[in-house]
Amino acid sequence: MSVSPIGSVVIPAHNESVFIRRCLDALLCDFAPGELDVVVSCNGCTDDTADIVRSSWPGVRVIELAQASKTAALRAADEVLSVFPRIYKDADVILPGATARLMIEYLRTDSALAARPSPGYDTSQADALVRSYHRARARLLSRTQALWAGDGVYGVSAAGRARWGAYPDVIADDLFAAQWFRPSEVKIIGSAPTVVTAPRRTRDLIRIMRRRYQGNTDIRGLRDGPASTVAATLRDLAAVARSGPGAAADTATYLGIAVAGRITRAVSPPAGWARDESSRERVTSSP
């Protein structure tokens, strides 16, 4: 007996053969075949990401684009999907199926517009400064309802997705989507958090920060883009620094790495996505 999908998931993927198995295993483990309409939107892949998906999950649709562009991948997936609610997630972020189900169940209610999970970070093989930074980031993100604070995962109902058209060519698609919702319109789903694999080294993290700030600049350069949140972030960091033992040191690390990211972006803006490769190296070399 066929099962009608209760929601859809878009997973843009560029050379994600390292993560795609874990990504789909975690996502689909709580769903019956056909309950989710999942599209893996491969863009500019030169590895076997698409082949892995087709051979292991025949119910998952695969799109292949020649262009390496996350936003092009998002647009292509939106064109072939019709089911809502819809979750957008990065291929290298592990979203537990139980959390995905709770997101979809909430977004199927009449008044729901947007939802995100709480992010968690795997820093088990990161250096000390990267671990410190992510402790501060976790505390910081816990203080905001913003949709972008899902760190690579967010979901919308049909009414929520109707607030914008096709994704523009920007780096920070989550920040772009977040600008269409007031914090009070975003539900944080409090089940199992996602797992975001942290960069291995501080220099890798600074490269990510450089890309993140470039993405923020791109969004604010759009017509009616969101205002800068620097002042609010500094206020939240001050509160985080007072939150407990060790928090002040972690906050200082966060600020130092943030400043380094802004300086390097000003000196040498990133070209394209400029993703972190160190986390993929770690997964590849692990048993």
Mean pLDDT throughout 94-99? 96
Domain containing residue 55? 8-285
Q: What is the 3-state secondary structure (H, E, C) of 192-203?
A: EEEEEECCCCHH
**Helices (H) and strands (E) in the chain — how many of each?**
11, 8
Q: What whole-number percentage of the chain has pLDDT above 90?
A: 70
Note the pLDDT of residue 219: 77
Q: Give the count of domains, the chain.
A: 1
Mean pLDDT throughout 18-33? 95
Q: Measured between alpha carbons, how far is residue 232 from residues 143, 204, 235, 236, 241 in Å?
A: 11, 26, 5, 6, 14
The pTM for the full model equals 0.89
Half-sphere exposure of 156 (CA within 13 A, CB side): 19
Residue 18, classified by CB atoms within 10 Å of its CB into exposed (0-12), middle (13-18) or buried (19+), is buried
Greater confidence (203 vs 274) lies with 203
Does 1 fall in a domain?
Answer: no
Does 161 fall in a domain?
Answer: yes
CA distance 33 to 31: 6
Does 57 fall in a domain?
Answer: yes
Query: Could you report the per-residue pLDDT of 199-208, keeping only the tens digit for each?
Result: 999 999 998 8
Q: Measured between alpha carbons, how far is residue 225 from residues 83, 93, 232, 234 in Å?
A: 28, 26, 17, 21
At 286, is the pLDDT very low, low, confident or very high (cuts 50, 70, 90)? very low
Domain containing 197 — which CATH number?
A: 3.90.550.10
Does 3 fall in a domain?
Answer: no
Q: What whole-number percentage of the chain has pLDDT above 70?
A: 89
Does 213 fall in a domain?
Answer: yes
Note the pLDDT of residue 285: 41
DSSP, res 123: -
Residue 19 has pLDDT above 90, yes or no: yes
At 278, is the pLDDT very low, low, confident or very high (cuts 50, 70, 90)? confident
Q: With H, G, I as helix, E, B as strand and everything else as coil, classify residue 42.
A: strand
Instruction: Indicate the Cα dihedral angle 186, 61, 119, 236, nearest 10°.
Output: -50
Does 2 fall in a domain?
Answer: no
Does 43 fall in a domain?
Answer: yes
CA distance 119 to 130: 16
Query: Could you report the per-residue pLDDT of 216-264, keeping only the tens digit for each?
Result: 776 766 645 555 567 777 787 888 888 777 899 999 999 999 989 888 8
To the nearest whole number, what is the mean pLDDT of the chain?
Answer: 89
Residue 38 has pLDDT above 60, yes or no: yes
